[in-house]
Amino acid sequence: MKEIQIAVIGAGPAGLAAAIELAKAQGNVTLFDENTKPGGQLFKQIHKFFGSSEHLAGTRGYNIGKQLLRETEKLGVNVILDAPVYAIYPDKTISYSHQNREQAIKAEKIILATGATENALAFPGSTLPGVMGAGAAQTMINVHRVLPGKKVLMIGSGNVGLIVSYQLLQAGADVVALIEAAPQIGGYGVHAAKIRRAGVPIYISHTIQKVMGKNEVVAAQIVQLDDNRQPIPGSEKILEVDTVCMAVGLSPLTELAWLMGCEFAYIPQLGGHIPKHNHNMETTVSGLYVAGDITGVEEASTAMEEGRLAGIACAQALGLYDQEKAHTLKKEIWNRLNTLRTGPFGKIRKFAKDELLKISREGTA
């Protein structure tokens, strides 16, 4: 069986950044992704990113992706696409499906950068064709250039719900309404203002009750919620729609970490069960690292920094960097991560991340 030094699983911003750092350190690194194009979430993001300018804020997501790709090409990173990794065995043998068959490779170190997956809601009719994740709709319009439907109901007013609603409008769909169960909008005001200006009604304290249709969505019934989040009888509204998008949060994609026997911590603010890890992004399984949304749902900027961190720590463990050099590099990254995790949303995440590091330390002591 082929043996390599480092395998990075997932070619989103975290995985790309990790692979770049490892290649810079002369590591023998192979990057895997299940898609036919690298970039993870980035290539779906046609909007300008938020954050600080040092972190490419103001740059559109897909352009950040292009920059990362150019760098991996320049450094000669081995990228294997169309290759979902579906198993890792205790001896770090990786099984992936590629060119219609199972293939395997053994790695000394592994970095998991698998990102996150969309949450779904269950309601009568939720399995009808036309009900989908907002991320799926975004992939259809921005990557494949296919309109999922003409009249859309969006559920969830976080940034994903707001941004995807706007992009659906740009793609030519009619967003009939955006509903939010909480009594206030979840995402940034600028994004909400944009879709309001475009005439999309935003119903706060509303939820979906059911979707009607036989073979496909023809209408959706929504209802208002009281202070205890109970439906208010008589407030039901039927909206004529052919598509229902759910933007109700993301959960870290952690199956491979469970399979490897990592210890986990439950941190709701970060999206649920997160593999415990230390300041080097190494999990409780020696030689297995994590970076990006798998360590808690955040942003592309933090994902890239965590990827770099994992890459450098991994290079250090392999003897590619001496202690001092690695220490300097890691310190710079931690400073940047701490800057990124500020502001009203960032602060909550920083608190949660610190908690995770603390629990991880206690757990492995």
Partner 1 sequence: MNQKADVVVIGGGVIGTAITFYLSQRGQKVILIEKNDLASGASGACDQDIILQSKNPGIHLQLALASSQMYKTLEKELDYDIEYENTGGMILIETPEELKIMEDFVNRQKALGLQVEILNYKEALRYQRGLSNHLVGSTYSPQDAHVNPIRLNLGFAQAARRYGAEILLETEITKIKVKNNQIEGLETNRGTIYTPVIINAAGAWAPSIGRMIGLKIPIKPRRGQIVITEPVPPFVMGDVLSARYIVAKYNPELYNNSESAAVKLGVGLSLSQTRKGNILIGATREFAGYDITNTRTGIKEILKNATRLIPELKEMNIIRAIAGLRPYTPDGLPLLGPVNGLNGFYLAAGHEGDGIALAPITGKIIADLITDGKTFMDVTALSPNRFLM
Ligand X SMILES: Cc1cc2nc3c(=O)[nH]c(=O)nc-3n(C[C@H](O)[C@H](O)[C@H](O)COP(=O)(O)OP(=O)(O)OC[C@H]3O[C@@H](n4cnc5c(N)ncnc54)[C@H](O)[C@@H]3O)c2cc1C
Give contact residues for ligand X (rule: CB under 6 A): 9-15, 32-35, 40-42, 45, 49-51, 84-85, 113-115, 135, 138, 159-160, 163-164, 253, 256, 292-293, 298-301, 303
Indicate which of ligand X, partner 1, none lies near residue 239 (CB less than 5 to 8 Å, by partner kind).
Answer: none
Indicate which of partner 1, ligand X, none lies near residue 34 (CB less than 5 to 8 Å, by partner kind).
Answer: ligand X
DSSP state of 362: H
Nearest-approach distance from CB 263 to partner 1, in angstroms: 17
Please give the single-letter amino acid code of residue 113: A
- Nearer to partner 1 (CB atom), residue 106 or residue 194: 106
CB 208 within 8 A of CB 155: yes
Indicate which of ligand X, partner 1, none lies near residue 90 (CB less than 5 to 8 Å, by partner kind).
Answer: partner 1
Nearest-approach distance from CB 309 to ligand X, in angstroms: 13
- Nearer to partner 1 (CB atom), residue 89 or residue 334: 89
Strand residues in the chain grouped as ranges (E): 2-9, 29-32, 78-80, 85-88, 93-98, 101-112, 116-118, 131-133, 151-155, 174-180, 202-204, 206-212, 219-224, 237-239, 243-246, 250-252, 264-267, 272-275, 288-290
Nearest-approach distance from CB 2 to partner 1, in angstroms: 14
- What is the spatial distance between Cα 33 and Cα 38, in angstroms, rounded to a whole number? 7
Give me the residues paired with residue 132 across strands: 245
Q: Which residue has the tokens 């995790």?
A: 341
Indicate which of partner 1, ligand X, none lies near residue 163 (CB less than 5 to 8 Å, by partner kind).
Answer: ligand X
Alpha helices in 172-297 (DSSP H): 189-197, 255-259
At residue 333, the 3 state secondary structure works out as helix
Please give the single-letter amino acid code of residue 152: V
CB 239 within 8 A of CB 231: no
Q: Is 108 exposed, middle or buried (0-12, 13-18, 19+ CB in 10 A)?
A: middle
Q: β-pairing, 243-246 with 131-133?
A: parallel
- What is the spatial distance between Cα 1 and Cα 323, in angstroms, rounded to a whole number? 32
- Nearer to ligand X (CB atom), residue 11 or residue 202: 11
- Nearer to ligand X (CB atom), residue 124 or residue 343: 343
- Nearer to partner 1 (CB atom), residue 47 or residue 92: 92
- Nearer to ligand X (CB atom), residue 13 or residue 272: 13
Nearest-approach distance from CB 174 to ligand X, in angstroms: 19
Indicate which of partner 1, ligand X, none lies near residue 292 (CB less than 5 to 8 Å, by partner kind).
Answer: ligand X
Q: Which residue has the tokens 């690298």?
A: 38
Indicate which of ligand X, partner 1, none lies near residue 45 (CB less than 5 to 8 Å, by partner kind).
Answer: ligand X
Nearest-approach distance from CB 230 to ligand X, in angstroms: 30
- What is the spatial distance between Cα 108 and Cα 335, in angstroms, rounded to a whole number? 29
Nearest-approach distance from CB 87 to partner 1, in angstroms: 7
- Nearer to partner 1 (CB atom), residue 285 or residue 304: 285
Indicate which of ligand X, partner 1, none lies near residue 13 (CB less than 5 to 8 Å, by partner kind).
Answer: ligand X
The dihedral of CA 84, 297, 112, 272: what is its sign?
Answer: negative
List interacting residues with partner 1 (CB under 8 A).
Answer: 87, 89-90, 93, 95, 102, 104
Indicate which of partner 1, ligand X, none lies near residue 15 (CB less than 5 to 8 Å, by partner kind).
Answer: ligand X
Nearest-approach distance from CB 98 to ligand X, in angstroms: 10
Nearest-approach distance from CB 142 to ligand X, in angstroms: 9
Smallest CA-to-CA distance from 232 within 240, 222, 241 is with 222
